[in-house]
């Protein structure tokens, strides 16, 4: 049981199955994923393949908290065909470019601006842009 999704980034020269991927056990609906991506853009996360994915993991982990519910791997090592929200493909500029394994309507339970405000509040360390 969960609201699972995998968020993966296509990287030039790497087969899709070896692309870096974030596993979300909760907050895997499109409304949450869009809020995570928008928050990262507002926090001026660098838009290259290494930094954008690493900082996105940090932003999500800070928001969700705890020690469970967020994982990191490759598409082949995560549960992309998870029965919930499937797989989101994103670009290094943190935008959804493609979807796989979707089975139902897009989740739209969270207000984007409200969730972004909550995510930004959970990530105050980004005010120090080191």
- Record the pTM: 0.94
C-alpha–C-alpha distance, residues 68 and 124, integer Å: 21
- Mean pLDDT over 8-15 rounds to 94
For residue 126, the model assigns a pLDDT of 85
pLDDT tens per residue across span 44-61: 999 888 889 999 999 999
Work out the average pLDDT over 21-35: 97
Q: What is the pLDDT of residue 129?
A: 58
CB contact at 8 A, 121 and 35: no
Determine the pLDDT at residue 15. 96
The crossing angle, in degrees rounded to 10, of helices 112-121 and 49-64 is: 90
pLDDT (tens digit, 9 = 90+) per residue, 109-126?
A: 999 999 999 999 999 988
Would you say residue 74 has pLDDT above 90?
A: yes
Task: Give backbone dihedrals phi and psi of 14, rounded to 5 degrees, phi first.
Answer: -115, 130
Residue 47, pLDDT score: 87
Residues 98/42, Cβ–Cβ less than 8 Å: no
In 3D space, the residue among 52, 45, 42, 34 whose CA is nearest the CA of residue 97 turns out to be 34
In the chain, pLDDT over 90 holds for what percent of residues? 85
Residue 79 has phi, psi (to 5 degrees) of -95, 70
- Rounded to whole angstroms, the Cα distance separating 106 from 50 reads 29
Task: Tell me which of 9-23, 42-56, 58-72, 76-90 is least confident.
Answer: 42-56
Residue 128: predicted pLDDT: 67
Q: Which of 119, 97, 115, 105 is nearest to 43 (CA)?
A: 119
């Amino acid at each position: 049981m969960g609201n699972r999704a995998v968020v993966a980034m296509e990287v030039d020269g790497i087969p899709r199955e070896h692309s870096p991927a974030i596993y979300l056990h909760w907050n895997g609906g499109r409304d949450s994923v869009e809020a995570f991506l928008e928050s990262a853009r507002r926090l001026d996360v660098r838009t290259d393949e290494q930094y954008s994915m690493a900082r996105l993991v940090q932003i999500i982990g800070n928001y969700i908290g705890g020690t469970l519910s967020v994982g990191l791997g490759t598409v082949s090592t995560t549960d992309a065909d998870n029965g919930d929200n499937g797989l989101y493909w994103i670009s290094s500029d943190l935008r959804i470019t493609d979807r796989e394994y979707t089975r139902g309507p897009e989740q739209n339970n969270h207000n984007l601006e409200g969730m972004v405000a909550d995510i930004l509040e959970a990530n105050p360390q980004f005010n120090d842009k080191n």
